[in-house]
Amino acid sequence: MTTTKEVRVNDRIRIPTVRVIGPDGEQVGILGIREALTYAQERHLDLVEVSPTARPPVCRVMDFGKYKYEQNKKLQKARKKQHVTHLKEVKLRPKIEEHDYRFKVNNGRRFLELHDKVKFTVTFRGREMAHTEAGFRLLERVVKDLEEVGQVENPARLEGRNLVLLMVPKSAAGKAPERKPAPATAGAKPPAPRS
């Protein structure tokens, strides 16, 4: 069926003959529009065009108000079940203090518990690029601290001056597949800096 905004009902149907389907789903047959309207009015129901492109167009005898109400309920139910996943970013520095680290990790935990993806970014400045292993160790610690609420989707990788790790929430049922740590975060040394 088409949406309720496009549906033509009763006198708005301008086609001379229509195929009519009764209130219980039985085929009534091809009737003139006046006969079809009379058929619907005798049953205290509406004549609703459900397939305007068919030849002849198909109309159904039903309570249009009840139909609109049910369609709106279905839409509301579908919207309620929908969850939009947002991408949140938590920025870290390689030489972060303990309190700042706890604060940032707690923010990441909160985002994961709200079923949002979290992108952890470690930004390097100047000579810190020569010691990217500190950033890798920091992200390993983040993963270990958040393993009960999230799992790694994209392992830590260097993108210019940033080291990026993407975490996703574990499923509500706790059946999220376990991923093996990537070689970069499992203790392997990062690529040597260019001189």
Domain ranges of the chain: 1-65, 87-169
Question: Which of 132-165 are b and which e, b meaning 16 or more Cβ less than 10 Å from the residue's Cβ?
Answer: bebbbebbbebbebbeebbbbeebbbbeeeebbb
The pLDDT assigned to 80 comes to 82
* Residues 47-51, mean pLDDT to the nearest whole number: 89
pLDDT in tens, 107-145: 999 999 999 999 999 999 999 999 999 999 999 999 999
In tens, the pLDDT along 135-189 reads 999 999 999 999 999 999 999 999 999 999 999 998 743 444 444 444 554 455 5
pTM, entire model? 0.51
Beta-sheet strands, E only, within 22-149: 27-32, 46-51, 58-62, 87-92, 117-123
Write down the CATH number for the domain with range 1-65.
Answer: 3.10.20.80
The class that CATH gives domain 87-169 is alpha beta
